[in-house]
Amino acid sequence: MTSMPFRLTALALAISAIVSNMSSADARPAKAYRDLNHNGRLDPYEDGRRSDEVRIEDLLRRMTLEEKVGTMMHATLPSRDPLGHEGDSYDPKETARLINEAKVTSFITRLAVAPDAMARQNNAAQRVAEGSRLGIPLTISTDPRNHFQAVFGASTRGGGFSLWPETLGLAAIGDLSLVRRFGEIARREYRATGIHMALSPQADLATEPRWPRTTATFGSDPAAVSRLVGAYVAGFQGSDTGLTRDGVATVVKHWVGYGAQPDGFDGHNYYGRIARLGNATFAQHVAAFDGALAVRTAGIMPTYPILTGVSLDGKPLEPVGAGFNRQLLTDLLRGQKGFRGLVLSDWAVTNDCPVTCSAPTADKPQGIDAIAVPWGVETLSKEDRFAKGVNAGIDQFGGVADSAILLAAYKAGKVPLSRIDESVRRVLRIKFQLGLFENPYVDEAAALNVVGDAGARAEAEKAQRRAQVLLENRQNLLPFVAGRKVWLYKIDAAEAWARGFTVVDDPAQADLAIVRVDAPFETLHPHHFFGSRQNEGRLDFRDGQPDFEAIKRASARVPTAVVINLDRPAILTNVRDKAHVLLATFGASDAAVYDVLTGKARPEGKLPFELPSSMSAVESQDPAAPDDSVAPLYPRGAGL
């Protein structure tokens, strides 16, 4: 007969065994957790009851060096082309290679497909990741998708997402609650399709009027930009105190001084690799990021150009792009500003810049194989660029999957393991905060009901109307009354007929005219990949330009409404005297414009930047200083 003490001892040992194995096994059914490493046990990083930090450390211990450096890449989900923006699906073979061989677990998507198709493609990519050695889920990011302008490398259009004014339009309204509401709606749409990270917003100050990236900013005033960016981040992330479970991680860009580009030449291009500031103006550009930092944005993206004219702690900035600048990333951003999140480089900073990148010609234009922005470190090897970037403060490299090169830098003693682990923790923390280890999949059918639903569309369309800025209404010509004959230029005639107007072919036969135009621009660098796609150069209307000729033709005959989309601060000096109505938009449908012109909707916008009076005033202003041109035609804040 077994003695009682023995039975108690055996029971105690059994209980002890169960407790001690709680870190690796659980009495719950197997389906109660995801066995990501396929070992039949519940490991700490798979256990949703544990804290994120415990799970991160457990997973970090299990990762190989190859998996760690792969985690520090943020590549592109491949489609029919290497940049991932052509086609309606991801390339399954190349996607599997990037996940299983390069060990990449973060990707940008550029697909523009229906919501259910987007959800389906992202789910398929997640299934590949789940089959990897540790089953680490993918973080899928995107450039902005909810606005009118679509320029490669800056924004994406399509896929049924609700269509809002550009962020400049949200700035024109100036309503923080609306900006936050926009973020909440976009967050819901992103998550419904399996997107977890917004490579936005831009906290860049719009200080150089010719700069092509102006349209995605919140304008020129540092205090206003700070407030509006903070509201945007809070809406996307789900709180004022950081990323929430159902949020979308924001990567605020571009740290810092990106808008101060002489002549407006953009830093994507070799000819735009320099920004010019002074210490006082630099402080204004930094202040624009304060709102994002206050609400704990998950990520920050450094800018491309080399900043000149700036000193920190009495020392001039090293003449390298911000992604390689320890003073900007470690000393200022992490040290002085206390940022603890992810630093994700802008795209292609470690690539080589061949002659077709720096000096392309008509015979040898810059192609996708020559996209590179290693400004200030062109002479370094790729290995040394990776090492310099990591040691400066980069956690993840955008647009590349060169994990083997970073591994070589580590093996050569150029990057300490502690820095690699520090970066990997930051990448993993976002995945855990978003609940991706529990479930990275989305309901493909439900995505159709969530993305661009009727309520979201209605709110977006109302914002398109509110954001318009009425600059002139001479003789109180507005609102236009139905029944009149109207001549139209670049605006939908069907909408006019539907509102009771008679559309005529000749201004001489009309009672009034509506002329819709864009801010003037030039294509000054047609052989550069980005230069050929960006609006550069002059901002004034000139004889011979089709839009200006249409304005002159109409206004010579009848009272004319000129509706101008301000992706940059146009010069309207020789337009104002011809227009009875001058209406500025920042992304608006023809229907939204008609609603304002006919009095169905009220334009509430105020200019988010000044409009210069001449090109000579533009050319003489400081590219880093907000609203400093001589005798501006309309000041910031103008609007009837």
Active site residues: 221, 346
Q: Which distant-in-sequence residues (6+ apart) come within 8 Å of 320 by Cβ?
A: 306, 375, 376, 377, 388
Q: Which amino acid is at 306?
A: I
Cα–Cα–Cα angle for 221, 241, 301, rounded to 5 degrees: 55
Terminus-to-terminus CA distance in the chain, angstroms?
Answer: 98
Report the amino acid identity of residue 461: E
CA 397/CA 493 separation, integer angstroms: 48
DSSP, residue by residue, 152-184: TTT----SS------HHHHHHHT-HHHHHHHHH
Identity (one letter) of the amino acid at 462?
A: K
Instruction: Kindly report the three-state secondary structure assignment for every residue of 273-334.
Output: CEEECCHHHHHHHHHCCHHHHHCCCCEEEECCCEEECCEECCEECCCCEHHHCHHHHHHHHH
Q: Are 107 and 76 in contact (CB under 8 A)?
A: yes
**Up-side HSE of residue 449: CA atoms within 13 Å toward CB?**
5
Query: Would strands 342-347 and 396-398 be described as parallel, antiparallel, or unpaired?
Result: parallel
Nearest to 539, CA basis, from 427, 425, 623, 617: 617
Q: Where are the beta strands (DSSP E) in 89-132?
A: 106-108
Q: Is 188 strand, coil or helix?
A: helix
